[in-house]
Amino acid sequence: DLIDARIGDETVSDIGLRWVEGVPSPRLEIAKVRLARRNMLRRRPSYRLVDYDEVPALFAAPTEMEAEAARLRDMHPSEVAAVIRALPLPQRRQLAEAMDDERLADVLEELPEAEQVRIVEALDLDRLIGVLDEMELDDLADLLGEMTQQQRTLILEAMDAEDADVVRRLLSYEAATAGGLMSPEIIILGPSSTVADALAEIRDPHQVVSIAAQVFVCQAPFKPPTGKFLGTAHVQRLLREPPRMELERCVSLDPVVAPGTPDRHVAEILASYDMVAVAVCDEGGHLLGAVTIDDVLDRLLGTGWRQRHRHAESAS
């Protein structure tokens, strides 16, 4: 429970233990605490090592909201979001403050963008950048789209420059289009990469199911916008082929969509071809990202579907 705990504008990143002689047997006790601080202008945090007695607040009894955050830790983010929505706004913000950055980012992604804004606007800029850094870039773009121009500019200027450029590009598309729905954070490899390379990427536990269901094969560069898009290597095909086979020999020429394609047409393509993700390419055939089935469903179900689902569950 100590890792990722917040101490002012720092978080606990590691704990140093030491053996202490005792009766009836030796025991371990905390000797050192490593604290991490995020810098608005750099993605990597800075660290400092302190003695345990320099951070007494870390070992104090938890507040009511810290205890509630700990209780919710093992719940799915969508379930935590439902709990948060039932709280008054001041308590929502207190609970958000008690969560670590990654957990809060996961929960925010399960809330409507307007409610996300009401929660994060109470965070200081350092903490806000830390939380936004943990969000998927397409979800981050949706959140920033609900903010004022001044807020959006302030956050984009504080972000990593490369990520900020990606988010600006996402914000340039209409919400109800493939460009507005797509994620640029997909698995992209070159034609000479092997099946083994692709499966190694797919095994990453941080990949969501819909992203890990396929690898997009392109010419260099391998970050959107990529070189020429060559096709898609689906996970079932990859599992059937020998590890040393190059991806150019096992790609499928699936349909692609343009960034301006309406969301309903994207849904029809996914349904027609039984795909969980469809590539988004520009006029030159460069891969810009992909729209996944979960993003399409989230869009077509409307902004209030999570709340309607919870009410239906309660009624049953």
Question: Going edge to edge, which strands form the sheet with 229-234?
Answer: 188-189, 214-218, 229-234
With 0-12 / 13-18 / 19 or more C-beta atoms within 10 angstroms meaning exposed / middle / buried, residue 80 is buried
For the chain, domain boundaries: 6-59, 64-172, 188-299
Give me the pLDDT at residue 171, please. Answer: 94
b/e 138-170 (16+ beta carbons within 10 angstroms → b): bbbbbbbeebeeeebeebbebbeeebeebbebb
- Place 160 in a pLDDT band, splitting at 50, 70 and 90: confident
Tell me the per-residue pLDDT of 72-105, one tens digit each, with 9 for 90 and over: 888 899 899 988 888 889 888 988 888 888 889 9
User: What CATH class has 188-299?
Assistant: alpha beta
Tell me the per-residue pLDDT of 104-135, one tens digit each, with 9 for 90 and over: 999 998 888 889 999 998 888 888 888 888 88
Tell me the per-residue pLDDT of 45-77, one tens digit each, with 9 for 90 and over: 788 888 878 887 776 656 777 777 878 888 899
In CATH terms, the fold of domain 64-172 is MgtE N-terminal fold (1.25.60)
Q: Do domains 64-172 and 188-299 have the same CATH topology?
A: no
Tell me the per-residue pLDDT of 185-201, one tens digit each, with 9 for 90 and over: 999 999 999 999 999 99
